[in-house]
């Protein structure tokens, strides 16, 4: 009897769905709704309705431009943390070494530093759950360490030289996420600021750094936007505002359903009037290109590096009740001279778009400026000196710096991909942190006198061999070693101090930065 009732119910459901399908109107919206209802109710196997809808959304967006995307609630949260400038947790930078979480740095004045956790400590338990030696993913460990502000994280820590597990109770708090990677005097009277992305706190961070450099008497500024993939438009506008005079155009946006909107300078709060050079490369995109385009079009300074990525599309976030989000392209943005720097794309062809940088390398565009060709229809003039600039695919620098393919050998790339470099660095720092801190009381002393020991280099090579990574020949090994030694020194500086010191070491081998310094000298 029960089987008969269930069969009858299923039949009624089927008839009801079919009736609704027939009665539905002919609009695309109704058609989409009816298709989802039919699959959910009539398909032969059980389906996940949430995933079905998400796949449908992704399918629609995939047929549009490459930058209209859908993100799950989890992805949105992770994305917002990097842009909003903070997350809630215990305040440590860590890395995994042989299935153990090793603290690299504690955040200054953060909750972990306040209770006495030190670099080199190993966190082995969180709230009575072992996280060491259990093959737990890095993402799962981060989930356990993070949590709402004010909650407790009961940790067990193993400290080198002390027996047993030491208990620490950390009260979670807001942890700042900085978008400025470095700021320092790179040469006498020349300041350097590197912005990693444009987030909610970027402008405040930038102004603090700029004011500090101006107090040290800079005449020139190098603004490094290499590898900066963008972020908030308004953050970029706020930064460029400090370089231009009142009324100068910064950028404008225009779309089919979005009226033209102009962003103009108000002259800044404490404007910088010295010389400026902006650095870009093939990974500089979106908000970075807004800054570079405004500096170039307004003849405010020079651009040095390689042609930027070419993202001139504006996305509007459309949030759903479950925390997921569509970022839908609604407009193009244009530089002050009227350039749209969005590189060409075919709607729905994501693969070809993704291969653009590979194609640039194959075509010689990253190594030879003469390989880059612009149509005359894309020719524009800067607003003051009437120099020729081009639209249609990124910001072309005033001074092109070719990619040195001999410096970054295949052997080095494989060592990095197999974590041979970072793992060797973790072990080296773990064993030598105290002696290095004692010997080098300042970064200046370290930078002038520290030399990477051969045993450190040998450990990287041994790690590579353990992962079946070997140089092609002695020549490739010899070519790799100078850059590898610089990188190892920079990693040690980062772990003893911070990212600021890391870039001070690495920048002295960066061809784009060295070219900028040469331009300023001329």
Active-site residue 27, yes or no? no
Burial class (CB in 10 A: 0-12, 13-18, 19+), 227: middle
Strand pairing of 69-71 and 100-106?
unpaired
| DSSP track, 183-199 | EEEEETTEEEEEES-B-
Between the alpha carbon of residue 319 and those of residues 30, 48, 235, the distances in Å are: 22, 21, 21
Q: What is the largest CA-CA distance in the chain?
A: 94
Looking at the DSSP bridge assignments, the partners of residue 275 are 220
Provide the token pair at 290. 């807004």
* Residue tagged 């990525």 (tokens): 309
Question: Please, are residues 246 and 265 in contact by the beta-carbon 8 Å criterion?
Answer: yes
The active-site residue out of 311, 324, 342, 489 is: 311
Question: Please, are residues 38 and 17 in contact by the beta-carbon 8 Å criterion?
Answer: yes
DSSP state of 402: -
The active-site residue out of 308, 315, 342, 487 is: 315
The active-site residue out of 105, 112, 265, 286 is: 286
Active-site residue 438, yes or no? no
**Extended strands (E) in 78-121:** 86-89, 92-97, 100-106
How many Cβ atoms are within 10 Å of 17's Cβ, its own excluded?
Answer: 16
Strand pairing of 249-254 and 122-126?
unpaired
Helix (H) or strand (E) run with residue 333 in it? strand 325-334
Question: Please, are residues 418 and 463 in contact by the beta-carbon 8 Å criterion?
Answer: yes
Provide the token pair at 479. 């070519």
Looking at the DSSP bridge assignments, the partners of residue 278 are 223, 303
In angstroms, the CA 172 to CA 507 distance is 35
Q: Taking the C-alpha atoms of 374, 380, 382 and 386 in order, what is their torsion angle to the nearest 10 degrees?
A: 100
3 state SS of 103 = strand
Looking at the DSSP bridge assignments, the partners of residue 315 are 329
Burial 57-70 (b: 16+ CB within 10 A, else e): eeeebeeebbbbbb
Task: Measure CA 283 to chain center.
Answer: 10
- Radius of gyration in angstroms for the set of CA atoms belonging to the chain, rounded to a whole number: 27
Looking at the DSSP bridge assignments, the partners of residue 457 are none
Active-site residue 93, yes or no? no
Query: Which residues have CB under 8 Å from 113's CB, separation 6+?
Result: 91, 106, 107
Active site residues per annotation: 286, 311, 315
């Amino acid at each position: 009897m029960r089987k008969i009732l269930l069969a009858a119910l299923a039949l009624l459901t089927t008839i009801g769905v079919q009736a609704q399908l027939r009665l539905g109107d002919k609009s695309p919206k109704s058609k989409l709704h009816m298709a989802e209802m039919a699959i959910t109710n009539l398909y032969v196997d059980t389906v996940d309705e949430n995933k079905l809808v998400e796949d449908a959304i992704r399918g629609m967006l995939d047929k549009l431009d490459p930058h209209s995307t859908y993100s799950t609630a989890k992805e949105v949260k992770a994305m917002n943390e990097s842009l909003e400038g903070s997350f809630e947790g215990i305040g440590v930078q860590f890395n995994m070494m042989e299935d153990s979480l090793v603290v690299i740095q504690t955040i200054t004045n953060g909750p972990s530093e306040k209770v006495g956790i030190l670099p080199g400590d190993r966190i082995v338990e969180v709230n009575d759950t072992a996280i060491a030696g259990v093959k737990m993913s890095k993402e799962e460990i981060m989930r356990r360490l993070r949590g709402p502000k004010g909650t407790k994280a009961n940790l067990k820590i193993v400290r080198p030289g002390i027996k047993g597990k030491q208990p620490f109770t950390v009260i979670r708090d807001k942890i700042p996420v900085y978008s400025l990677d470095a700021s320092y005097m790179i040469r006498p009277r020349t300041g350097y600021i590197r912005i990693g992305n444009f987030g909610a706190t970027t402008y405040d961070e930038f102004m603090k750094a700029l004011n500090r450099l101006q107090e040290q008497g800079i005449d020139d500024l190098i603004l490094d936007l290499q590898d900066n993939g963008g972020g908030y438009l308004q953050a970029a506008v706020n930064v460029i505002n400090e370089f231009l005079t009142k009324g100068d155009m910064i950028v404008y946006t225009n779309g089919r359903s979005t009226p033209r909107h102009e962003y103009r300078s108000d002259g800044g709060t404490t404007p910088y009037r010295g010389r400026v050079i902006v650095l870009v490369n093939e990974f500089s995109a979106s908000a970075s290109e807004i800054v570079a385009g405004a500096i170039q079009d307004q003849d405010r300074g020079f651009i040095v590096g390689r042609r930027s990525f070419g993202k001139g599309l504006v996305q509007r976030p459309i949030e759903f009740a479950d925390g997921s989000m569509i970022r839908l392209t609604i407009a193009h943005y244009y530089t002050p001279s009227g350039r749209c720097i969005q590189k060409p794309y075919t709607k729905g062809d994501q693969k070809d778009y993704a291969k653009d940088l590979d194609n640039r390398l194959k075509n010689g565009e990253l190594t030879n400026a003469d390989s880059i060709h612009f149509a005359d229809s894309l020719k524009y003039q800067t607003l003051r000196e009437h120099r020729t600039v081009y639209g249609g695919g990124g910001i072309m620098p005033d001074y092109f710096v070719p990619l040195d393919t001999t410096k970054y050998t295949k052997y080095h790339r494989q060592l990095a991909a197999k974590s041979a470099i970072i793992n060797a660095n973790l072990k080296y720092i773990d064993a030598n942190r105290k002696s290095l801190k004692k010997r080098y009381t300042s970064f200046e002393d370290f930078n002038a006198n520290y030399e990477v020991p051969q045993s450190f280099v040998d450990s990287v090579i041994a790690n590579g061999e353990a992962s079946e990574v070997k140089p092609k020949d002695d020549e490739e090994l010899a070519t790799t070693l100078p850059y590898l030694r610089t990188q190892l020194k920079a990693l040690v500086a980062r772990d003893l101090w911070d990212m600021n010191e890391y870039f001070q070491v690495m920048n002295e081998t960066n061809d784009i930065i060295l070219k900028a310094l040469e331009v300023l000298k001329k």
